[in-house]
Chains A and B, each alone.
Chain A
Amino acid sequence: MAIVKHDTVIDNDWITLDAEGDLPAGDVNIIVPLDRWKAEQDSLKGRNGGVGVLLVPGDAPEDIAADLDRLALIAIRFPAYTDGRGYSYARVLRERYGFAGEIRAVGDVLRDQILNMHRCGFDAFDLKDDADTALAKVRAAMAEMTVYYQPTGDGRATAGSLRERRRAGQVG
């Protein structure tokens, strides 16, 4: 298991909690399921440690739209890589609500989906590989394609915008 973020392997200093059960000491960073956040947010907001929310397919990112400034991290789970709902959730969080914290892909996260995830706003990838392999996979995946047709919030220039620029350059 290794988490790759911004081209490096990072330590996982977050604990993912279940729907119920005791909270760890107040300075520990925790990730809680959406329902638990909804039920316990008043007490969770007072913690010293960071709080993150875990979204699973079927959850509505809209439910945490008002709380985003309280959240340092949102984990989005892919129970199977074929369940693509998480891509939409990430885009809504980044592009609609302007979430600037970490969006971490967890679950069935494989090399060949990483570029798409990144394009949708994920910036951390929890892979089931050792650190070196995970980093190598993320790097290879990110380098495979350099042309993008769709505008997303990822900052990459699209083919359309580059064409536009080129035309403007020719004219001016």
Chain B
Amino acid sequence: MYRYDDFDRQLVLERTEQFRGQVARRLSGELTEDQFRPLRLMNGVYLQLHAYMLRVAVPYGTLSGAQLRQLGYIARKYDKGYGHFTTRQNIQYNWPKLAELPDALLDLARVEMHAIQTSGNCIRNTTTDQYAGAAADEIEDPRPYCELIRQWSTFHPEFTYLPRKFKIAVTGAPNDRAAVRVHDIGLRMHQNAEGETGFEVIVGGGLGRTPFVGKTIRDFIGKNDLFSYLEATLRVYNRFGRRDNKYKARIKILVHEIGAEEMARLVEEEWAQIKDGSLKVSDAEIAQYIAQFAPPSFETLPDDDAEFARRKVENPGFAAWVRSNVVAHKQPGYAIANVSLKPIGGIPGDATADQMERVADLADQYSFGDVRVTHEQNLVLPHVKKADLFSLWAELSNAGLATANLGYVTDIIACPGLDYCALATARSIPLSQRISERFGDLDRQHHIGELKIKISGCINACGHHHVGHIGILGLDKRGKEFYQITLGGDASENAAIGKIVGAGFSEAEVVDAIEAIVTRYLEIRDAGERFIDTYRRVGTDPFKEVLYGDR
């Protein structure tokens, strides 16, 4: 895991003091709200419906036990005892006071964390595979490159006032768990014909009002050249991205309007000018970062553990949790354990201070002090001995954190929606709670299998509804909440934007509508088909039929 050196530490402390000064200038009236807003946003401070909101960056979704414990402390000290993990692997606090925020940021800095660039029209926190460094299917651990991107993008003097926000995601595995095709830039590691590992550069994906799957502008860029290539891409965007209309300002619109080929040409032209400059990263430097993310000291173990096998047979609850929440690890005898933040009827992604501290302790005890945040709003203990899984599960159960629903119909992504968000047109959390309750029965969920429901409270699509197998978008129809359903979206390596199935539903109708869709799927699925497979085979018609009949 990357540890700050004195440079990183100094930078974050200076930033904290800078923000303290800015807050003081705001409170004294030296800065107007108009002047202060972008400064606070660049430090992760929003003004939401009820209060300020602080969004803390979890760089590439990786936390140490100590960091997660501190996040719990901050929830208790500056907030109301809880936090919300987001689809960008970050955490949000909903009730901080402006005057106290500089202290909160200082408390974050103590554990090498910050809220820098978690908002504003700049390069946001880079996200990646939550199983990085652990996944059995990984080509290479993407985190060293994510850390280099974090440093390159932090206070980039040229790219602090881009046309719009800018999100980069990286995957080091062929099974894309980081949704790289729906980011401003997606980087997919792969090997070229010479056997070198590098990155496919995908540009112009995104959700929001106008969803696009990104286009590849370069099939392969070597590791040493990645940063000059990113800089060239950002410079093209900074110069030519639209600034006349904020809804057309994302890079996806630029790529759409000029075409992927022209975009590639502009980037290549710019890159040719800077590729041999000071952004070229040497193998030696890369090696330093790879060393920072060296695997923990795994024990040499057989892959099978007799005790683990016996527990599964004896305890169906444990077996169910293993089946849904435990994933193959690259090290024999180890496993990746997902901690669901989606209890039945709960608020997706919320965790109390106690729960954060509990998971921090468990990470220290069972997972080399390593915790991950997923873009699906869950937590992960990435390196757990199979022999320890049963005790871990028992302890998670005691903390209400062992819901066995990963990837199932109740593992719902939901943005904060109108309960918290100033931009929302409808609530999303209560709807996710009702759906979760409707499908709460574990056997039923297992029977249904993988099904990703994603809910956004407005067209900004923070809840990724466009790429939900079933997506739900909350709208306002003459003062009433109203929900539009899309089908067939997919955030994986087979990325697809969902199709609107038909007229929307009222709050009272929408849960029944979801159940009707699921029931139909169960009727028509072929053996072994997931919902998304069936959808791809049959399209929307069978679902329209059950939703609208002859209408």
Contact = CB atoms under 8 A, between A and B. Distances in A.
Interface string A97-126: 000000000000010110111011000000
B444 to A, nearest CB: 50
B8 A159 contact: yes
Contact of B157 (A110, A152, A162, A163): A152
A77 interface: no
A99 B302 CA distance: 64
Interface stretch (A12-20, A32-40, A142-150): A142-150
Interface in A60-102: 81-85, 87-89, 91, 95-96
A160 B285 contact: yes
A151 interface: yes
Interface string B1-14: 00001011011001
Contacts of B77: none
B519 to A, nearest CB: 50
B14 A87 contact: no
Interface stretch (B148-156, B356-364, B405-413): B148-156
Interface centre among A91, A96, A150, A164 (most CB of B within 10 A): A150
Nearest to B236: A88
A151 B278 CA distance: 6
Interface in B404-450: none
B530 interface: no
A112 B18 CA distance: 10
A158 to B, nearest CB: 8
Contacts of A83: 161, 243
A77 B10 CA distance: 33
A57 interface: yes
A76 B414 CA distance: 44
Contacts of B278: 151
B7 A88 contact: no
A151 B21 CA distance: 27
Given A88-B235, A112-B39, A162 B243 contact: no
A80 B2 CA distance: 38
Contacts of B17: 144
A147 B10 contact: yes
Contact of B160 (A95, A116, A147): A116
Contact of B152 (A115, A119, A149): A149
Nearest to A148: B155
Nearest to B234: A88
Contact of B238 (A88, A145, A146, A151): A88
A145 B17 CA distance: 10
A84 B38 contact: no
A84 B159 contact: yes
Given A88-B238, A159-B8, A160-B285, A150 B35 contact: no
A88 B158 contact: yes
B162 A84 contact: yes
Nearest to B273: A96
A84 B35 CA distance: 15
Given A149-B151, A149-B155, A85 B14 contact: no
A115 B273 contact: no
B15 interface: yes
Interface string B137-153: 00000000000000110
Secondary structure of the A side of the interface?
Answer: helix
B200 to A, nearest CB: 24
Contacts of B160: 84, 87, 113, 116
Interface string B25-44: 00000000001001100000
B277 to A, nearest CB: 8
Contact of B7 (A112, A151, A162): A162
B279 interface: yes
A91 B238 CA distance: 12
Contacts of B285: 160, 164
Given A96-B273, A159-B11, A151 B161 contact: no
Contacts of B5: 163
Interface centre among A84, A87, A120, A162 (most CB of B within 10 A): A84
A85 B154 contact: no
B158 A151 contact: no
A110 B34 CA distance: 12
A150 B121 contact: no
A83 B360 CA distance: 42
B310 interface: no
B22 interface: yes
A78 B161 CA distance: 11
A116 B238 CA distance: 15
B551 interface: no
B478 interface: no
B161 to A, nearest CB: 3
B158 A152 contact: yes
B238 A110 contact: no
Contacts of A82: 38, 121, 161
A150 B151 CA distance: 8
A115 B238 contact: no
Contacts of B235: 88, 91
B39 A147 contact: no
Given A147-B7, A147-B10, A148-B155, 14 more contacts: A82-B121, A83-B243, A87-B238, A88-B238, A91-B235, A113-B160, A116-B155, A117-B157, A145-B14, A146-B14, A150-B152, A151-B277, A160-B151, A162-B7
Closest 5 CB pairs of A and B: A84-B161, A119-B157, A151-B278, A147-B11, A159-B7
Interface of B: 5, 7-8, 10-11, 14-15, 17-18, 21-22, 35, 38-39, 121, 151-152, 154-162, 235, 238-239, 243, 273, 277-279, 285
12 contacts: A84-B160, A84-B238, A87-B157, A91-B158, A116-B155, A120-B157, A120-B158, A149-B152, A150-B152, A152-B158, A159-B11, A159-B151
